[in-house]
């Protein structure tokens, strides 16, 4: 494991607890910090030398939990050394760096996995299952809200800090992944910190779905909620409600009669609202990061792409990059490039 800062202790604990993994070493520029994490998980070799990790032929894989700006250089060196790689979100600091990582992994026949931990929570796994089954019908819209008070980051804005969680979930549960045609971003900096602490993203997707995301560092309340509306049912994910994390609503607009009408009749058609029952899905609660490290091992053993592959990480990264372009243009829609589509082919 490379990086023993904020996320490293959680990752080390789950790697040590997993039957799939032997935690061979913990690497950090701060050797005392690495030693504290090692002691907390029952002991592990520690080092400040990344090259010694990459040169060790007994090490199969590295898990990177360092700042995003360092992911590219570490991951490329690890892949060139024949190591499988899992990187904390976001995958890299630019789409170009992310695309190089995806391409190098494909060339070397190695697994590159994005640690999109939220995707491995039982509720989000159930969301993916429900949507894939067709139970909610065709997806019409996605509305996401992630707000809290504090935890303002010194080096990134609120989009890069909070949005990757929800963007990765959208990419994970939507059929075919998250493919936006453009991104419109509006940010606010009421603290005069030089970066947005409140932000809104609007993304028309390639299949006609509209996705919207609101992130905020300044809310006195903490909310983690996503609403996915379909032609038959609506899913509501409320991560902070342990009694009802995932609900399925049989209510919405009945568009069947309108869609069957002719263009002329459609203007005069009465919209029919459907009001039905609400049910909550039941599932066993477990720590998502345990499932993450198990998926990483499974992808390596089975020589397959992980469910949150490098290509998935690149799609999220492309949205963040387009949001930055839109912010620089005062909220004008910023078209997405084709990096994520190329990554899909390469992967």
**8 Å CB contact between 347 and 305:** yes
Domain span at residue 274 reads 119-288+318-328
Write down the H helix ranges in the chain: 8-17, 31-40, 50-55, 68-80, 95-108, 122-133, 158-173, 256-260, 263-268, 288-302, 310-328, 339-346
Predicted structure pTM score: 0.91
State the CB neighbour count (10 A cutoff) for residue 79.
24
Number of domains within the chain: 1
Within a domain: residue 249?
Answer: yes
| Pairing mode, strands 112-115 and 84-88 | parallel
| Pairing mode, strands 334-335 and 182-188 | antiparallel
pLDDT at position 258 is: 53
Distances (CA, A) of 139 to 211, 232, 299, 311: 10, 9, 29, 22
Within a domain: residue 112?
Answer: no
Within a domain: residue 217?
Answer: yes
State the CB neighbour count (10 A cutoff) for residue 52.
13
List of the chain residues with pLDDT < 70: 252-274, 337-347
pLDDT at position 3 is: 97
Nearest partner of 347 among 153, 11, 105, judged by Cα: 105
Within a domain: residue 6?
Answer: no
Radius of gyration of the chain (CA): 21
CATH of the domain at 142: 3.30.360.10
Within a domain: residue 47?
Answer: no
Nearest partner of 30 among 10, 11, 4, judged by Cα: 4
Going edge to edge, which strands form the sheet with 84-88? 61-64, 84-88, 112-115
pLDDT at position 259 is: 53
Tell me the two tokens of residue 3: 């990086």
């Amino acid at each position: 494991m490379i990086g023993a800062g904020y996320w490293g202790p959680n990752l080390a604990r789950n790697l040590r607890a997993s039957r799939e993994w032997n935690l061979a070493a913990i690497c950090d520029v701060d050797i005392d910090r690495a030693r504290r994490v090692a002691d907390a998980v029952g002991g592990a070799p520690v080092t400040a030398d990344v090259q010694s990790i990459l040169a060790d032929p007994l090490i199969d894989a590295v898990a990177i939990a360092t700042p995003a700006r360092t992911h590219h250089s570490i991951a490329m060196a690890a892949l060139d050394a024949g190591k499988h790689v899992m990187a904390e979100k976001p995958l890299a600091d630019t789409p170009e760096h992310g695309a190089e990582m995806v391409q190098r992994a494909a060339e070397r026949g190695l697994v590159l996995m994005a640690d999109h931990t939220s995707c491995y929570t039982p509720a989000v796994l159930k969301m993916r299952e429900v949507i894939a089954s067709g139970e909610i019908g065709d997806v019409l819209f996605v509305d996401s809200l992630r707000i809290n008070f504090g935890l303002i980051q010194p080096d990134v804005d609120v989009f890069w800090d909070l949005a990757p969680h929800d963007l990765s979930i959208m990419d994970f549960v939507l059929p075919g992944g998250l493919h936006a045609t453009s991104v419109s971003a509006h940010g606010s900096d009421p603290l005069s910190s030089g970066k947005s602490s409140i932000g809104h993203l609007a993304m028309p997707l390639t299949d006609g779905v509209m996705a919207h995301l609101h992130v905020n560092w300044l809310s006195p309340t903490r909310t983690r909620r996503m609403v996915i509306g379909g032609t038959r049912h609506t899913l509501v994910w409320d991560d902070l409600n342990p009694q009802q994390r995932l609900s399925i609503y049989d209510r919405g607009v009945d568009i069947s009669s309108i869609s069957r009408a002719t263009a002329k009749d459609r203007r005069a058609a009465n919209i029919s609202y459907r009001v039905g029952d609400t049910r909550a899905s039941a599932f066993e609660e477990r720590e998502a990061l345990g499932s993450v490290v198990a998926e990483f091992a499974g992808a390596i053993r089975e020589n397959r792409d992980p469910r949150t592959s490098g290509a998935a990480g690149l799609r999220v990264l492309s949205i963040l990059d387009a949001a930055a372009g839109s912010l620089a243009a005062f909220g004008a829609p910023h078209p997405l490039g084709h990096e994520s589509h190329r990554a899909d082919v390469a992967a």
